[in-house]
Every structure is written in structure tokens, then in C-alpha cells.
A and B are shown apart, each in its own frame.
Chain A
Amino acid sequence: MLDFISDSLVIGLTEHAPLVLASIGFALLYRLTGLINVAYSETVTLGAYFGMWINTSFGFNFYATLIPAGLIAGLLSVGTYFAVFRPAKKLNVGALEMIIISFGLSIFLRHGLQFIWGYPVRFYDVPPPDTFRILGTGVSSFRLLALISVGVLALILYWFIQRSSFGLRIRALASDEDLAQASGIRPLFVTVLIWFIAGVAGGLAGAFYGVGSSVAPLLGWRQFLFILLVVLVGGSRGLGGVIITGIATGVALAAMSLQFGQVLYAQLALITAFVVILKWRSRRVAETAKV
């Protein structure tokens, strides 16, 4: 029993650490711009591909690839804002249409990436990792370092948004655009910053996903549903809630995978549980009456 718990904890934390990072980026966009951006999953994929490309083409160390991978994903994110979401907002596109647009963008980018890097699954070229034993569970050095890096990055992001003066501006803009503008905040700059940070978080998560297993066009999309669930369920309690829900999700996935001997069943159980939570919560949330 104790083994099971420690295994779940260690595997859950190390294997699913990128989920936390990806969820933070998505939550930033969702909470601060109100947008459910399906195409966010493609910043994750791009991060994985670009890091892999730098790593295999130029022989860069994995950690050195993180910087360009994060930067390019951030730039893609900002690019989608200027190319699609900003015009859409100016054209007063409705919330429903906005989701479909981001879905279309996601499909477009995903296959664009596939066009560039081809269909076969690709791998990072990294030396075989050493294995550590933590609480009796074997963990590769990569996963361990990934966990530490994700933890550090998550903390930096959390601090940046919740504590720094930039974060204050970002949150001010999200809560009241006019007021923020009146008090001297440049909305465009701050908005671009949000999109950039979100993209960087997504790209880094993708790089960790990629080095942990493999790189494929569907990498980001396969994670999207879980990112979405974590953010919708945990997001109502701020970034902290997202982080905690993300961690809990990772541990639960690992525990159930061990229990069922099948990752897919764990995913199924998790999807069901989250949708039921959303349903149950919707019944309690007071509707804002219009009639």
C-alpha cells in the first residue's frame, strides 16, 4: 500500500510535471483574456518540435534547447494573437465562434507543423539518463530534472503574475480594461506579454513532454483535454488552484494507471470525474439572472 502511494506520487509528479506548466500557460490566457484557446495545444507541440530540432541538428544540450524552444513558442503565441485573435476581437466575434476559430487555428497549425517536420514520430537525442531511486521508485534523471525545472518555472510564473508589478498590471487589465487604461497601463503591451508568457509556458511544457517520450504532431492535442479540464476545474481558485489541480491530476493519473494497469482507463476515469465535477458545480453556481 505504501509502495503504491509512493509510486503514484513519484511517477505522477515526475511524469506529469509538464501538465502543470502547460496548464499555467493556458490558465493565464483563459483567466486574463477570457479565451478558451484550443490552438494553445500547438504551442506545446511547437516547443517539443523546435527543441528536438535544435537538439538533433546542432547537438545542443537539452537544457540549452529550452530557451529557443520557449522563445519560439512564445512568438507563435503572440503571432496567433496578432494574426487571428486580435482581429477577431475587433470584429466582435462571439464567444462560441471564438472557440471554433481557435479550433480551426489549432488544426491549421498542427498540420502545418506536420508538414514541416513530417509524419513519423521524432525523438530528442539525449544521453541515456541515470536512474535514481526515490521512495523506492526508479526515476530517470531527466524526469527528475524536469520536475525541478517545472517547479521552478511554475513558481517564477506564479510570483510574476501574483506578486510582481507587471503581474499587477496584467491582472488590472483583465479585471477592467477601461480603468486599467485610465491608470496608465498600456493594454496592447500587457496583452502581448500575457500571450508571450503563455506561449513560453506551453513551449517549455512541450519540450519536457518531448524529451520524456517522443515528439509527434498530436503531442499537444493529446494533452489539450487534460489541460482544459485542469484549468476549468482548478482555475476558479486562481493560479494556485491550477497548480494544485494539475499536480493532483498527475498523481491521480499515475495512481490509476498503476491500479488499472492501463493508462487509457486512468484517462477515462479522470475525464469522467472532471466532467461530473463541472456539472455538479454548475448546479451550485448562482446564475446571473437576466429576466
Chain B
Amino acid sequence: MNLDWLDAFLISGLFSVVIIIGLGLLLHLQLGLARIANFGVVGFFGIGMYAFGVMFVKVDWPFSEVWAFFISLAFGTLVAGLSGLLVGWLIADLDEDGVLVGTLGFATAVLILATTEQDLTGGALGLGGLKFPYDIGSVKANEFLWLIIVTTVVALILLYVGRVHRSPYGRLLIAVGANEPLARSLGKPAFRTKLWLFAVGSAGMGLLGALFGVMVRFLDISNLGIDVTLAAMVALVLGGTARVWGAVIGGFLTIGLFEIVVQSYIPFPQGWYGQAIPVVRQMVFGATLIVVLLFRPLGILGDMRRDKLMRSMHGG
């Protein structure tokens, strides 16, 4: 395959955008619908990434690498889902403050464990040996194919989120987010709803983490910083917390701007890319959160339009 037309930076830039959009979409179910601010996105992302990586690299698999790959992927997803269940149980009946502590604490715990359990994770040195489950030639070709695969996964997540909006489940999430006591009095088990929301959302985040790990092929604890949570949150908030397409639009406008436009298309002095631009990027992201939430709290797309949706589904 001739991929000369394709810039390697563009592949990795697009990949970051796609991963963050995926995380933003899952965060949307929690923050946008059920109104739970998950500040531990990177924890679930990271635990999936490391559970997959450790399983794949450290276990002596008796069968082919492809099988080992998919079993490890499932394992990473499952571990993230289970940790979501645990965190969900801890925070489902706490208020915003408690949710902040619980989710942030979980992300910190994952970072701590990845650092201390060096035998498994490589600690601060990192863990190598991850690879694509295929080999179609050049590194670029392999990465490009992986980008397409992950984009498909994120497209499926988008589809799922869209369906959730059009299903009784989505309505329940919105109801629990808008008025939990009232939802409960109508017989809705708010606690269990949040629990499963966290389990499913976290499993998805863990899967994305594992897919991300495959692309970078080397896991180190610098991937477990608050940056991932921030990126997913700023993408979602800018695009529109309550809307299906919010994270998609926001993802391109935030990560896309920095990882693709600034990285490849604006000729900044070479020295800036290492130090200054990442710092400026974080400042811009932080400022974006503040400005959007102050002046347009529901982001570019605005509020969800249940009236339109209901008319299109049951109108006439």
C-alpha cells in the first residue's frame, strides 16, 4: 500500500482525536445525561490499558498471538468494567463533592499501582512489547489500519450513544440526572442505574485505553496524568455536554486543533513543540472549560432537544 500521501503526524493526531472523542462520548452518558462528573476518566482508561498490556506481554500464552491479543483486550475491558462497578458503588449515593473525591481517588490509585507494581507494569520505566494483531507491512501502514479500526470502534460507540438517546434507558438516565428523588419515587432504582452506567462507561473507557496502548506500543505512567480526563472533558463541554455529537465536534475543535492543525500545519519554531505548545495547550483547555461553562454552559450545540426527538419518534 502506498501511503506517501499520508503524514505520520496526521495519523497520530487523528488517532488522539478519535480516542478522545470516544472517551468524551462515554463521559457524555455520565456527565451529560446522568449529571455525574467523572474526574477519573484516565483511571478507567489507564486500568484498561495496563490490564491489557500486562496480560498480553507478561503471560506466556499457549496459543497464537492473535488469540492472546483478543483475550487480553477482553480482559482489559472487563477489569475496567469491574473497577467501574466498584467506583460506581462507592459514589452512586454521594453528592458532587463525594463523586469528585471518589473518581479522582480512583485515578490516583491507578497511577500509584502502575508505579509501584514494577514487576508487572514496568513502573516508571514503562512496559514495551505491545504490538498490532496483524502485520501488513510498514509501520505507517499498520498504524493507519489501526486508526481505521479504532475509528470504527468509536463510531460504534457514537451509534450506541445515539441509540441510548432514543431508548427508555436514555430517558431513565436523564430523569435520574435531572431529579433523582422524583425518579426514585416513580420506582426507578437510581443507585443501580448509576452503578451499571459506571460499569458500562468504564468498560468502554478501558477498551479505548487498551486500543490506545496498542498504538503507542509502550506503556508508561506519563499516560496516566490528568491530561486525558481534561481532554475528554473539554471536548465534551465545548461541543455540548448534553448532545450526542458534542464530543465529536468538541474533539476536533480542541485536540484536533492542537494535535493536527498546530502540529502539522502551522510552522512554529521547532523548539516550541516540545515545551511551550503542550503547556499553552493545557492553558487553553483550562480556559475553555471556564469560558464555556460561564457563558454557554451547554456548549456549541446547546441543550438536548427532547421535544424534537419525541416528535420524530412518536409524533404525527
Contacts and interface: CB of A to CB of B under 8 A. Distances in A.
Do A and B share a direct contact in the complex (Cβ within 8 angstroms)? yes
Interface of A: 36, 38, 84, 87-88, 91, 93-97, 99-101, 103-112, 114-115, 119, 221, 225, 228-229, 232, 262, 264-265, 267-268, 271-272, 274-276, 278-279, 282-283, 289-291
Contact of B100 (A93, A97, A228, A282): A228
B290 A108 contact: yes
A36 B230 contact: no
Nearest to B89: A279
Contacts of A104: 234, 285-290, 293
Contacts, number: 134
A191 to B, nearest CB: 19
Given A36-B100, A225-B101, A232-B97, A100 B237 contact: yes
A199 to B, nearest CB: 18
A265 B113 CA distance: 8
B83 to A, nearest CB: 13
Interface string B78-114: 0000000000001101101110111011001100110
B27 to A, nearest CB: 11
A168 B234 CA distance: 40
B226 interface: yes
A104 B96 CA distance: 16
A112 B281 CA distance: 11
A232 B97 CA distance: 8
Given A100-B293, A119-B275, A228-B104, 20 more contacts: A100-B233, A104-B288, A106-B286, A107-B282, A107-B283, A107-B285, A110-B286, A115-B280, A225-B108, A229-B105, A264-B115, A265-B116, A267-B112, A268-B109, A272-B109, A275-B101, A276-B90, A279-B90, A291-B181, A291-B185
B115 A93 contact: no
19 contacts: A93-B293, A93-B297, A97-B293, A100-B37, A104-B288, A105-B286, A105-B290, A106-B286, A107-B283, A107-B285, A112-B283, A221-B226, A225-B101, A228-B104, A264-B116, A272-B109, A275-B102, A278-B98, A282-B94
Contacts of A38: 100
B94 A101 contact: no
Nearest to B185: A291
Contacts of A262: 116
> Lowest 8 A-B CB distances belong to which pairs?
A104-B289, A108-B286, A107-B286, A111-B282, A291-B185, A104-B286, A290-B181, A271-B105
State the main secondary structure of chain A at its contact with B: helix
A285 B253 CA distance: 43
A112 B276 CA distance: 11
Contact of B286 (A111, A265, A278, A279): A111
B182 interface: yes
A48 to B, nearest CB: 18
A46 to B, nearest CB: 15
Contacts of A111: 279-280, 282-283, 286
Nearest to B87: A275
Given A105-B286, A111-B279, A278 B113 contact: no
Given A100-B293, A275-B105, A264 B98 contact: no
Residue from A38, A110, A272, A279 having most chain B Cβ neighbours under 10 A: A279
B310 interface: no
A268 B112 CA distance: 7
A80 B172 CA distance: 37
B294 interface: yes
B286 A99 contact: no
Nearest to A95: B96
Contacts of B39: 103
A228 B37 CA distance: 16
A93 B294 contact: yes
A111 B283 CA distance: 6
A268 B106 CA distance: 9
A106 B104 CA distance: 14
Contacts of B287: 104, 108
A290 to B, nearest CB: 4
Residue from A97, A221, A225 having most chain B Cβ neighbours under 10 A: A97
B35 interface: yes
Contact of B104 (A97, A107, A225, A282): A225
Interface string B16-40: 0000000000000000000101010
B283 A108 contact: yes
B283 A96 contact: no
Contact of A114 (B115, B185, B279): B279
A111 to B, nearest CB: 4
Given A228-B101, A232-B101, A283-B93, A271 B294 contact: no
B119 to A, nearest CB: 14
B184 interface: yes
Residue from A109, A111, A267 having most chain B Cβ neighbours under 10 A: A111
Nearest to A118: B275
Given A101-B289, A114-B279, A228-B100, A96 B35 contact: yes
Contacts of B105: 225, 229, 271-272, 274-275
A82 to B, nearest CB: 13
A221 B237 CA distance: 22
A88 B282 CA distance: 21
B226 A271 contact: no
Contacts of B275: 119
B297 A103 contact: no
A279 B39 CA distance: 17
Contacts of B97: 36, 99, 232
Contacts of B290: 84, 101, 104-105, 108
